[in-house]
A and B are shown apart, each in its own frame.
Chain A
Protein backbone atom coordinates (compact mmCIF):
# COMPACT_ATOMS: atom_id res chain seq x y z
CA UNK A 1 0.00 0.00 0.00
CA UNK A 2 1.55 3.32 -1.05
CA UNK A 3 0.90 6.17 1.31
CA UNK A 4 1.32 9.85 0.60
CA UNK A 5 4.77 11.17 1.57
CA UNK A 6 4.66 13.47 4.57
CA UNK A 7 6.96 16.25 5.73
CA UNK A 8 7.42 14.34 9.01
CA UNK A 9 8.68 11.18 7.26
CA UNK A 10 12.32 11.75 8.15
CA UNK A 11 11.50 11.53 11.84
CA UNK A 12 9.11 8.59 12.00
CA UNK A 13 7.87 6.98 8.78
CA UNK A 14 11.18 7.01 6.91
CA UNK A 15 13.72 7.68 9.62
CA UNK A 16 17.12 8.81 8.32
CA UNK A 17 19.05 6.16 10.23
CA UNK A 18 16.63 3.38 11.11
CA UNK A 19 14.75 3.17 7.84
CA UNK A 20 17.05 4.54 5.16
CA UNK A 21 20.28 3.41 6.87
CA UNK A 22 21.93 6.72 6.07
CA UNK A 23 24.76 8.18 8.19
CA UNK A 24 25.02 5.04 10.29
CA UNK A 25 28.79 4.95 10.84
CA UNK A 26 28.87 7.90 13.32
CA UNK A 27 25.95 6.35 15.21
CA UNK A 28 27.69 2.97 15.38
CA UNK A 29 31.14 4.21 16.33
CA UNK A 30 30.60 7.52 18.15
CA UNK A 31 27.10 7.09 19.50
CA UNK A 32 28.34 5.65 22.79
CA UNK A 33 28.31 8.72 25.04
CA UNK A 34 25.92 11.64 25.27
CA UNK A 35 28.79 14.13 24.98
CA UNK A 36 29.96 12.75 21.64
CA UNK A 37 26.36 12.46 20.51
CA UNK A 38 25.61 16.12 21.25
CA UNK A 39 28.69 17.25 19.31
CA UNK A 40 27.77 15.03 16.38
CA UNK A 41 24.16 16.18 16.43
CA UNK A 42 25.27 19.79 16.29
CA UNK A 43 27.73 19.09 13.47
CA UNK A 44 25.33 16.99 11.44
CA UNK A 45 22.45 19.43 11.82
CA UNK A 46 24.51 22.49 10.92
CA UNK A 47 26.42 20.94 8.02
CA UNK A 48 23.42 19.19 6.46
CA UNK A 49 21.00 22.09 6.82
CA UNK A 50 23.35 24.70 5.39
CA UNK A 51 24.79 22.46 2.67
CA UNK A 52 21.43 21.29 1.33
CA UNK A 53 20.03 24.82 1.41
CA UNK A 54 22.99 26.26 -0.49
CA UNK A 55 23.11 23.28 -2.86
CA UNK A 56 19.48 23.81 -3.80
CA UNK A 57 20.60 26.86 -5.77
CA UNK A 58 22.95 24.83 -7.97
CA UNK A 59 21.48 24.84 -11.51
CA UNK A 60 20.02 21.48 -12.61
CA UNK A 61 21.45 21.98 -16.10
CA UNK A 62 24.92 20.97 -14.91
CA UNK A 63 25.65 17.26 -15.56
CA UNK A 64 24.80 14.91 -12.68
CA UNK A 65 28.38 13.91 -11.85
CA UNK A 66 29.50 17.52 -11.67
CA UNK A 67 26.50 18.46 -9.52
CA UNK A 68 27.43 15.73 -7.04
CA UNK A 69 30.97 17.10 -6.83
CA UNK A 70 29.62 20.63 -6.33
CA UNK A 71 27.39 19.46 -3.47
CA UNK A 72 30.34 17.73 -1.82
CA UNK A 73 32.53 20.81 -2.24
CA UNK A 74 29.82 23.05 -0.77
CA UNK A 75 29.48 20.84 2.29
CA UNK A 76 33.28 20.69 2.65
CA UNK A 77 33.29 24.48 2.74
CA UNK A 78 30.40 24.60 5.23
CA UNK A 79 32.34 22.13 7.38
CA UNK A 80 35.13 24.67 8.03
CA UNK A 81 33.16 27.26 10.08
CA UNK A 82 31.13 24.49 11.72
CA UNK A 83 34.31 22.83 12.91
CA UNK A 84 35.81 26.09 14.12
CA UNK A 85 32.67 26.75 16.15
CA UNK A 86 32.64 23.17 17.47
CA UNK A 87 36.18 23.60 18.76
CA UNK A 88 34.80 26.26 21.10
CA UNK A 89 31.65 24.42 22.16
CA UNK A 90 32.82 20.79 22.28
CA UNK A 91 36.64 20.78 22.44
CA UNK A 92 36.91 17.33 24.09
CA UNK A 93 34.26 15.65 21.99
CA UNK A 94 35.85 16.78 18.72
CA UNK A 95 38.96 14.81 19.62
CA UNK A 96 36.91 11.72 20.47
CA UNK A 97 34.84 11.87 17.31
CA UNK A 98 37.98 12.03 15.17
CA UNK A 99 37.50 11.26 11.50
CA UNK A 100 33.71 10.95 11.82
CA UNK A 101 33.40 14.73 12.09
CA UNK A 102 34.65 15.52 8.56
CA UNK A 103 32.87 12.44 7.22
CA UNK A 104 29.54 14.06 8.14
CA UNK A 105 30.20 16.54 5.36
CA UNK A 106 30.01 13.84 2.70
CA UNK A 107 27.04 12.01 4.17
CA UNK A 108 24.57 10.50 1.73
CA UNK A 109 21.78 12.82 2.83
CA UNK A 110 23.75 15.71 1.32
CA UNK A 111 25.44 14.03 -1.60
CA UNK A 112 22.74 11.71 -2.96
CA UNK A 113 19.39 12.30 -1.24
CA UNK A 114 19.41 15.96 -2.27
CA UNK A 115 18.89 14.83 -5.86
CA UNK A 116 16.62 11.90 -5.13
CA UNK A 117 14.41 13.56 -2.53
CA UNK A 118 14.80 17.18 -1.54
CA UNK A 119 15.28 18.96 -4.86
CA UNK A 120 12.10 17.43 -6.21
CA UNK A 121 10.12 19.37 -3.62
CA UNK A 122 9.18 23.02 -3.43
CA UNK A 123 11.67 24.97 -1.35
CA UNK A 124 9.44 25.56 1.71
CA UNK A 125 8.40 21.91 1.82
CA UNK A 126 12.00 20.89 1.25
CA UNK A 127 13.13 22.88 4.28
CA UNK A 128 10.39 21.33 6.43
CA UNK A 129 11.23 17.83 5.24
CA UNK A 130 14.96 18.43 5.72
CA UNK A 131 14.39 19.61 9.30
CA UNK A 132 12.57 16.38 10.11
CA UNK A 133 15.22 14.21 8.42
CA UNK A 134 17.82 15.96 10.55
CA UNK A 135 15.67 15.54 13.66
CA UNK A 136 15.32 11.86 12.76
CA UNK A 137 19.09 11.46 12.88
CA UNK A 138 19.36 13.50 16.08
CA UNK A 139 16.67 11.48 17.85
CA UNK A 140 18.29 8.15 16.99
CA UNK A 141 21.72 9.45 17.96
CA UNK A 142 20.41 10.69 21.29
CA UNK A 143 18.55 7.50 22.19
CA UNK A 144 21.45 5.28 21.09
CA UNK A 145 24.04 7.30 22.96
CA UNK A 146 21.91 7.49 26.10
CA UNK A 147 21.28 3.75 26.26
CA UNK A 148 24.78 2.70 25.25
CA UNK A 149 26.41 5.05 27.74
CA UNK A 150 24.10 3.86 30.49
CA UNK A 151 24.65 0.17 29.79
CA UNK A 152 28.34 0.30 28.88
CA UNK A 153 29.70 2.86 31.33
CA UNK A 154 26.90 3.09 33.89
CA UNK A 155 26.72 6.86 33.47
CA UNK A 156 24.34 9.46 32.06
CA UNK A 157 26.23 12.36 30.52
CA UNK A 158 29.29 11.28 32.55
CA UNK A 159 27.36 11.24 35.84
CA UNK A 160 27.44 7.94 37.71
CA UNK A 161 24.31 5.86 38.14
CA UNK A 162 23.88 2.82 40.33
CA UNK A 163 24.29 0.20 37.58
CA UNK A 164 26.81 -2.42 38.67
CA UNK A 165 26.85 -4.89 35.78
CA UNK A 166 28.37 -2.96 32.89
CA UNK A 167 28.34 -4.31 29.35
CA UNK A 168 31.56 -2.71 28.13
CA UNK A 169 31.24 -4.25 24.67
CA UNK A 170 28.25 -2.06 23.91
CA UNK A 171 30.54 0.97 23.70
CA UNK A 172 32.61 -0.69 20.96
CA UNK A 173 31.75 -0.55 17.25
CA UNK A 174 30.46 -4.13 17.31
CA UNK A 175 28.13 -3.14 20.14
CA UNK A 176 26.96 -0.27 17.95
CA UNK A 177 26.24 -2.64 15.07
CA UNK A 178 24.24 -5.02 17.23
CA UNK A 179 22.44 -2.29 19.13
CA UNK A 180 21.51 -0.41 15.95
CA UNK A 181 20.37 -3.63 14.28
CA UNK A 182 18.09 -4.45 17.21
CA UNK A 183 16.84 -0.86 17.32
CA UNK A 184 16.14 -0.97 13.59
CA UNK A 185 14.09 -4.14 14.07
CA UNK A 186 12.15 -2.69 16.99
CA UNK A 187 11.50 0.50 14.97
CA UNK A 188 10.14 -1.52 12.08
CA UNK A 189 8.06 -3.63 14.44
CA UNK A 190 6.49 -0.52 15.99
CA UNK A 191 6.02 1.07 12.57
CA UNK A 192 4.34 -2.02 11.19
CA UNK A 193 1.86 -1.85 14.05
CA UNK A 194 0.73 1.55 12.75
CA UNK A 195 1.41 1.42 9.05
CA UNK A 196 0.90 -1.69 6.96
CA UNK A 197 4.06 -2.04 4.90
CA UNK A 198 4.90 -4.30 2.06
CA UNK A 199 6.81 -7.46 3.03
CA UNK A 200 10.40 -7.22 2.03
CA UNK A 201 10.97 -10.98 1.68
CA UNK A 202 12.45 -11.24 -1.73
CA UNK A 203 14.89 -14.07 -1.40
CA UNK A 204 13.82 -17.63 -0.99
CA UNK A 205 15.98 -19.74 1.26
CA UNK A 206 14.75 -23.05 -0.07
Chain B
Protein backbone atom coordinates (compact mmCIF):
# COMPACT_ATOMS: atom_id res chain seq x y z
CA UNK B 1 0.00 0.00 0.00
CA UNK B 2 2.80 2.33 0.98
CA UNK B 3 4.65 1.56 -2.25
CA UNK B 4 1.65 2.28 -4.46
CA UNK B 5 0.89 5.52 -2.67
CA UNK B 6 4.54 6.53 -2.99
CA UNK B 7 4.49 5.66 -6.69
CA UNK B 8 1.44 7.85 -7.26
CA UNK B 9 3.07 10.62 -5.21
CA UNK B 10 6.26 10.30 -7.27
CA UNK B 11 4.25 10.50 -10.48
CA UNK B 12 2.29 13.45 -9.15
CA UNK B 13 5.48 15.52 -8.79
CA UNK B 14 7.06 14.14 -11.94
CA UNK B 15 8.98 16.86 -13.68
CA UNK B 16 7.94 15.70 -17.13
CA UNK B 17 4.35 14.58 -16.64
CA UNK B 18 3.36 17.44 -14.37
CA UNK B 19 5.73 20.26 -15.34
CA UNK B 20 6.72 19.36 -18.89
CA UNK B 21 10.38 19.95 -18.02
CA UNK B 22 12.92 18.20 -20.22
CA UNK B 23 10.30 16.81 -22.58
CA UNK B 24 12.30 17.32 -25.77
CA UNK B 25 15.36 15.72 -24.17
CA UNK B 26 13.20 12.76 -23.23
CA UNK B 27 12.00 12.41 -26.82
CA UNK B 28 15.58 12.34 -28.03
CA UNK B 29 16.67 9.94 -25.29
CA UNK B 30 13.83 7.48 -25.88
CA UNK B 31 15.24 6.80 -29.34
CA UNK B 32 17.20 3.81 -28.05
CA UNK B 33 17.75 2.10 -24.75
CA UNK B 34 21.42 3.05 -24.49
CA UNK B 35 20.71 6.74 -25.03
CA UNK B 36 17.91 6.53 -22.51
CA UNK B 37 20.03 5.01 -19.76
CA UNK B 38 22.93 7.38 -20.44
CA UNK B 39 20.80 10.53 -20.49
CA UNK B 40 18.73 9.49 -17.47
CA UNK B 41 21.83 8.79 -15.39
CA UNK B 42 23.53 12.04 -16.33
CA UNK B 43 20.36 14.07 -15.69
CA UNK B 44 20.00 12.37 -12.30
CA UNK B 45 23.59 13.33 -11.52
CA UNK B 46 22.98 16.95 -12.49
CA UNK B 47 19.69 17.26 -10.61
CA UNK B 48 21.15 15.68 -7.46
CA UNK B 49 24.49 17.47 -7.41
CA UNK B 50 22.87 20.68 -8.67
CA UNK B 51 20.28 20.60 -5.89
CA UNK B 52 23.03 20.17 -3.30
CA UNK B 53 24.79 23.20 -4.74
CA UNK B 54 21.50 25.13 -4.91
CA UNK B 55 21.12 24.64 -1.17
CA UNK B 56 24.50 26.31 -0.67
CA UNK B 57 23.65 29.16 -3.06
CA UNK B 58 20.26 29.79 -1.44
CA UNK B 59 21.85 29.86 2.01
CA UNK B 60 24.64 32.22 0.97
CA UNK B 61 22.74 34.58 -1.34
CA UNK B 62 20.98 37.47 0.44
CA UNK B 63 17.28 37.95 -0.36
CA UNK B 64 17.83 41.31 -2.06
CA UNK B 65 20.03 39.66 -4.68
CA UNK B 66 17.52 36.96 -5.55
CA UNK B 67 17.52 38.07 -9.20
CA UNK B 68 21.06 36.69 -9.40
CA UNK B 69 19.89 33.19 -8.48
CA UNK B 70 19.69 32.09 -12.11
CA UNK B 71 23.22 33.32 -12.78
CA UNK B 72 24.62 31.36 -9.85
CA UNK B 73 22.67 28.25 -10.76
CA UNK B 74 23.97 28.53 -14.32
CA UNK B 75 27.53 28.86 -13.08
CA UNK B 76 27.04 25.87 -10.78
CA UNK B 77 25.68 23.69 -13.57
CA UNK B 78 28.51 24.94 -15.80
CA UNK B 79 31.11 23.88 -13.24
CA UNK B 80 29.44 20.49 -12.79
CA UNK B 81 29.35 20.13 -16.56
CA UNK B 82 33.08 20.76 -16.89
CA UNK B 83 33.89 18.56 -13.89
CA UNK B 84 31.89 15.65 -15.26
CA UNK B 85 33.42 16.00 -18.71
CA UNK B 86 36.94 16.09 -17.24
CA UNK B 87 36.22 13.17 -14.94
CA UNK B 88 34.82 11.06 -17.76
CA UNK B 89 37.76 11.96 -19.97
CA UNK B 90 40.22 10.59 -17.44
CA UNK B 91 38.12 7.61 -16.34
CA UNK B 92 36.74 6.23 -19.56
CA UNK B 93 39.29 7.40 -22.13
CA UNK B 94 38.09 5.77 -25.35
CA UNK B 95 34.45 5.68 -24.29
CA UNK B 96 34.53 9.43 -23.59
CA UNK B 97 33.45 10.15 -27.16
CA UNK B 98 30.22 8.18 -26.58
CA UNK B 99 29.54 9.45 -23.10
CA UNK B 100 30.09 13.15 -23.71
CA UNK B 101 27.01 13.49 -25.91
CA UNK B 102 24.81 12.58 -22.93
CA UNK B 103 26.57 15.19 -20.84
CA UNK B 104 26.13 17.86 -23.53
CA UNK B 105 22.42 17.11 -23.89
CA UNK B 106 21.74 16.90 -20.16
CA UNK B 107 23.65 19.80 -18.62
CA UNK B 108 21.79 22.94 -19.70
CA UNK B 109 18.41 21.45 -19.76
CA UNK B 110 15.03 22.58 -18.52
CA UNK B 111 14.83 19.39 -16.44
CA UNK B 112 17.98 20.27 -14.48
CA UNK B 113 17.44 24.00 -14.10
CA UNK B 114 13.71 23.49 -13.49
CA UNK B 115 14.47 21.03 -10.70
CA UNK B 116 16.76 23.51 -8.97
CA UNK B 117 14.09 26.21 -9.06
CA UNK B 118 11.30 23.81 -8.03
CA UNK B 119 13.28 22.43 -5.10
CA UNK B 120 14.18 25.96 -3.97
CA UNK B 121 10.57 27.10 -4.36
CA UNK B 122 9.29 24.18 -2.28
CA UNK B 123 11.88 24.94 0.41
CA UNK B 124 10.80 28.59 0.46
CA UNK B 125 7.19 27.52 1.03
CA UNK B 126 7.93 24.82 3.58
CA UNK B 127 10.78 25.44 6.04
CA UNK B 128 11.04 21.72 6.84
CA UNK B 129 12.31 21.10 3.32
CA UNK B 130 15.05 23.69 3.64
CA UNK B 131 17.79 21.23 4.61
CA UNK B 132 20.73 19.89 2.67
CA UNK B 133 19.38 16.33 2.74
CA UNK B 134 15.94 17.43 1.52
CA UNK B 135 17.52 19.26 -1.39
CA UNK B 136 19.65 16.26 -2.38
CA UNK B 137 16.74 13.84 -2.00
CA UNK B 138 14.43 16.11 -4.04
CA UNK B 139 17.10 16.33 -6.76
CA UNK B 140 17.49 12.55 -6.83
CA UNK B 141 13.71 12.12 -6.94
CA UNK B 142 13.54 14.44 -9.94
CA UNK B 143 16.09 12.22 -11.68
CA UNK B 144 14.09 9.12 -10.81
CA UNK B 145 11.01 10.89 -12.15
CA UNK B 146 12.81 11.42 -15.44
CA UNK B 147 13.69 7.72 -15.57
CA UNK B 148 10.05 6.73 -14.90
CA UNK B 149 8.79 9.07 -17.62
CA UNK B 150 11.43 7.69 -19.97
CA UNK B 151 10.28 4.12 -19.25
CA UNK B 152 6.66 5.13 -19.86
CA UNK B 153 7.63 6.58 -23.23
CA UNK B 154 9.91 3.71 -24.20
CA UNK B 155 7.08 1.20 -23.71
CA UNK B 156 5.11 2.89 -26.48
CA UNK B 157 8.02 4.12 -28.61
CA UNK B 158 7.61 1.54 -31.36
CA UNK B 159 3.88 2.06 -31.63
CA UNK B 160 4.22 5.84 -31.66
CA UNK B 161 6.74 5.71 -34.49
CA UNK B 162 5.05 2.92 -36.39
CA UNK B 163 4.12 3.32 -40.05
CA UNK B 164 0.53 2.70 -38.94
CA UNK B 165 0.43 6.13 -37.31
CA UNK B 166 -0.67 8.88 -39.75
CA UNK B 167 2.42 10.61 -41.15
CA UNK B 168 1.45 13.99 -39.69
CA UNK B 169 1.24 12.58 -36.18
CA UNK B 170 4.06 10.05 -36.35
CA UNK B 171 6.81 10.62 -33.78
CA UNK B 172 6.76 13.80 -31.69
CA UNK B 173 3.07 14.76 -32.02
CA UNK B 174 1.94 11.24 -31.09
CA UNK B 175 4.44 11.21 -28.21
CA UNK B 176 3.04 14.51 -26.91
CA UNK B 177 -0.53 13.23 -27.01
CA UNK B 178 0.54 9.93 -25.41
CA UNK B 179 2.35 11.70 -22.57
CA UNK B 180 -0.62 14.05 -22.25
CA UNK B 181 -3.06 11.20 -21.71
CA UNK B 182 -0.77 9.52 -19.18
CA UNK B 183 -0.30 12.88 -17.47
CA UNK B 184 -4.10 13.28 -17.42
CA UNK B 185 -4.46 9.94 -15.61
CA UNK B 186 -1.84 10.99 -13.05
CA UNK B 187 -3.56 14.35 -12.59
CA UNK B 188 -6.91 12.66 -12.02
CA UNK B 189 -5.40 10.52 -9.25
CA UNK B 190 -3.45 13.34 -7.63
Taking beta carbons and an 8 Å cutoff, which residues of A are in contact with B?
A: 21-22, 24-25, 28-29, 64-66, 68-69, 72-73, 76-77, 79-80, 83-84, 98-99, 102-103, 105-108, 111-112, 169, 172-182, 184-186, 188-189, 192, 199-205
Contacts and interface: CB of A to CB of B under 8 A. Distances in A.
Contact of A98 (B121, B166, B178): B121
Contacts of B169: 181, 184-185, 188
A80 B118 CA distance: 19
B172 A83 contact: no
Contacts of A29: 19-20
A103 to B, nearest CB: 5
A76 B72 CA distance: 9
Contact of A177 (B22, B114, B164, B180): B180
Interface in B54-90: 67-71, 73-75, 77-78, 81-82, 85
B173 A184 contact: yes
B107 interface: yes
B97 interface: no
30 contacts: A21-B172, A24-B20, A25-B110, A68-B104, A68-B108, A69-B78, A72-B74, A79-B70, A80-B68, A84-B67, A99-B117, A99-B118, A102-B113, A103-B110, A103-B114, A106-B74, A106-B108, A106-B113, A173-B20, A174-B187, A178-B176, A179-B180, A181-B178, A181-B180, A185-B174, A188-B167, A188-B173, A192-B168, A204-B162, A205-B162
Contact of B24 (A65, A108, A200): A108
Contacts of A66: 82
A202 B161 contact: yes
Given A25-B19, A178-B184, A184-B176, 11 more contacts: A29-B20, A98-B121, A103-B113, A105-B74, A174-B180, A175-B184, A182-B173, A182-B177, A188-B167, A188-B173, A205-B164
A175 B20 CA distance: 11
Nearest to B186: A174
Chain A contact surface mostly: helix
A98 B67 CA distance: 13
Interface of B: 17-24, 27, 67-71, 73-75, 77-78, 81-82, 85, 104, 107-110, 113-114, 117-118, 121, 157-159, 161-164, 166-181, 183-184, 186-187
B176 A73 contact: no
A22 B157 CA distance: 20
A176 B17 CA distance: 11
B167 A73 contact: no
Contacts of B78: 69, 72-73
